[in-house]
């Protein structure tokens, strides 16, 4: 087996930028997965994107989700992992439904909220965990460190629970997550430890960064699991392929609307189109963090710092980490601080992508209107997606097939839903017992020496 595609860093051209030594080598998928980020702090991208025929996409009609997953994953990973091993990973990762709910005419909501932690992040985390387990060196343990303010921590924690040879440490800010989120994080158990920190999210992230650059942990195989890892992007290509195959007539193109924060989800759609999936336009609505729609309008990029706190809290991002990958795909370069070194082809971007900022007020109105008119229940992230689609259709005229993504379960937002609709959403099966679970979090102050001592006592090295 010889690996097909090599992966390069988005920072490879930055040779005149102080503090950056561009990484000009390429690595295999395995290396990109286990390293997470490139040594120059750029993001890994595949040198080529596999192309699939429309007939092969069409052939997935009526087939289970796992078949779409196999088609996408095999095309990227052939030569890196045997097909039978990939099949086992996929069957094990995707054991829950992916509803395509009709709203009216041929407008659909794709519900990505049926996984074990009820957000779309389950799709990527579950496959990435299993790929890491398959690709790791069996003689060594992997130690994953994540700082989280919500959905990522619980999805990653749940996905890695019981995975052999990998331990996970999750840091979360005690006073910035909801009671239910705390329960979700504290009660994962087994090889997953939750550390409740008396600090803000940024402090948690700093503790993690310090540990990554601490020579004392050089031999511990520390890895991150956030959406800078290409292993989290690959699984997010699959549901676009699945939805299109189920709903398209002949080879008609679809409009997808993807509520966006760090742009990892939308990037999955961009790759699906480049693989040959008929996508008419990728709509990327944001909340009031409008740095990207402004960029498309004005050609100037200004990150928002600090980011604005909106109802759709998982999208409160003032400089999306995956913007570097979008820029790269359209011929530009932007670094992690939001400095643009080369502009992408904005006209081409605008032909493929439409982005618009949706206010909290519009988000609430949309939740109420869609429920009243169509009895379709959306939470704030999904409502930003739906409203963005409506704005797009008003501007560009009707499109036959439209699919808007719902990225979290409405039961994660009981107060907002009760206030707007007067109902209490049912908890999904996976969360039914959440209020009764008991957990034993570790409590720490935002102090690196304390965190370091804790890690030294708990991290294991041997596989």
Ligand X SMILES: *Cc1c(COP(=O)(O)O)cnc(C)c1O
Judged by the rule CB under 6 A, the positions of this chain that interact with ligand X are 119, 121, 151, 227, 259-265, 314-315, 381, 407-408
Residue 350, H or E segment: helix 346-352
Q: How far is the CB of 264 from ligand X (least distance, A)?
A: 3
The residue (of 325 and 381) whose beta carbon lies closer to ligand X is 381
The residue (of 166 and 408) whose beta carbon lies closer to ligand X is 408
Q: How far is the CB of 443 from ligand X (least distance, A)?
A: 25
Q: Where are the beta strands (DSSP E) in 155-236?
A: 166-173, 192-198, 222-223
Q: How far is the CB of 315 from ligand X (least distance, A)?
A: 5
The long-range contacts involving 290-294, CB below 8 angstroms and separated by at least 24 positions, are 290/357, 291/318, 291/319, 291/320, 292/260, 292/263, 292/320, 292/323, 292/355, 293/355, 293/356, 293/357, 294/357
Full DSSP string of 22-39: -----B-HHHHHHH-S-T
Rounded distance between C-alpha atoms, residue 202 and residue 106, angstroms: 42
CA 175-178-184 angle, to 5 degrees, is 115
The residue (of 70 and 204) whose beta carbon lies closer to ligand X is 204
The residue (of 220 and 292) whose beta carbon lies closer to ligand X is 292
The residue (of 166 and 310) whose beta carbon lies closer to ligand X is 310
How is residue 243 written in tokens?
């939805």
Full DSSP string of 221-260: -EE--STTSHHHHGGGGHHHHHHHHHH-STT--EEEE---
Q: How far is the CB of 262 from ligand X (least distance, A)?
A: 3
Q: How far is the CB of 157 from ligand X (least distance, A)?
A: 14
- b/e code 265-290 from CB counts within 10 Å (16+ = b): bbbbbbbbbbbbbbbbbbbbbbbbbb
The residue (of 181 and 333) whose beta carbon lies closer to ligand X is 181
Q: How far is the CB of 202 from ligand X (least distance, A)?
A: 17
The residue (of 220 and 413) whose beta carbon lies closer to ligand X is 413
Cβ 9 vs Cβ 42: under 8 Å: yes
Q: How far is the CB of 151 from ligand X (least distance, A)?
A: 4
The residue (of 319 and 381) whose beta carbon lies closer to ligand X is 381
Rounded distance between C-alpha atoms, residue 272 and residue 41, angstroms: 25
Q: How far is the CB of 363 from ligand X (least distance, A)?
A: 12
* Phi, psi at 200, each rounded to 5°: -95, 170
């Amino acid at each position: 087996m010889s690996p097909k595609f090599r992966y390069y860093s988005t920072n490879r051209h930055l040779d005149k930028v102080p503090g950056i030594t561009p990484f000009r080598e390429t690595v295999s998928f395995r290396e990109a997965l286990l390293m997470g980020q490139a040594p120059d702090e750029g993001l890994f991208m595949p040198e080529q994107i596999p192309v699939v025929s429309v007939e092969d996409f069409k052939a997935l009609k009526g087939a289970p989700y796992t078949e779409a997953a196999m088609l996408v994953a095999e095309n990227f990973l052939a030569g890196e992992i045997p097909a039978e091993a990939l099949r086992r990973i996929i069957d094990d990762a995707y054991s829950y439904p992916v509803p395509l709910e009709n709203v009216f005419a041929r407008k659909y909501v794709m519900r990505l909220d049926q996984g074990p932690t009820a957000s779309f992040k389950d799709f990527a985390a579950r496959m990435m965990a299993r790929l890491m387990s398959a690709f790791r060196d069996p003689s060594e343990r992997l130690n994953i460190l994540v700082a989280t303010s919500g959905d990522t921590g619980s999805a990653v924690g749940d996905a890695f629970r019981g995975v052999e040879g990998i331990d996970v440490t999750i840091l979360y800010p005690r006073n910035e997550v909801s009671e239910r989120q705390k329960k979700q994080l504290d009660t994962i158990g087994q090889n997953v430890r939750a550390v409740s920190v008396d600090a803000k999210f940024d402090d948690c992230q700093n503790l993690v960064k310090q540990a990554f650059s601490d020579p004392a942990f050089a031999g511990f195989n520390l890895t991150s699991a956030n959406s800078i890892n290409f292993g989290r992007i690959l699984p997010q290509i699959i549901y676009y392929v699945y939805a299109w195959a189920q709903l398209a007539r002949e080879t008609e193109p679809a409009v997808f609307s993807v509520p966006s924060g760090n742009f990892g989800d939308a990037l999955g759609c961009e790759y699906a189109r480049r693989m040959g999936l008929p996508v008419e336009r990728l709509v990327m609505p944001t909340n009031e963090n409008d740095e990207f729609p402004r960029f498309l309008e004005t050609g100037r990029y200004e990150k928002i710092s600090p980011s604005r706190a909106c109802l759709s809290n998982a999208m409160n991002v003032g400089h999306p980490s995956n913007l570097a990958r979008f820029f790269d795909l359209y011929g530009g370069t932007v670094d992690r601080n939001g400095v643009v070194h080369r502009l992408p082809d904005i006209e081409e971007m605008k032909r493929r992508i439409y982005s618009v900022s949706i206010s909290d007020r519009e988000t609430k109105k949309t939740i109420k209107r869609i429920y009243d008119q169509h009895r379709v229940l959306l939470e704030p992230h999904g409502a930003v997606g739906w409203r963005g689609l409506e704005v797009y259709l008003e501007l560009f005229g009707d499109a036959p097939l439209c699919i808007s993504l719902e990225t979290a379960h409405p039961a994660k937002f009981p107060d907002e839903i009760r206030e707007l609709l007067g109902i209490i959403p049912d908890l999904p099966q996976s969360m039914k017992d959440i209020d009764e679970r008991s957990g034993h979090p570790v409590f720490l102050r935002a102090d690196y020496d304390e965190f370091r001592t804790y890690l030294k006592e708990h991290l294991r090295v041997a596989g």
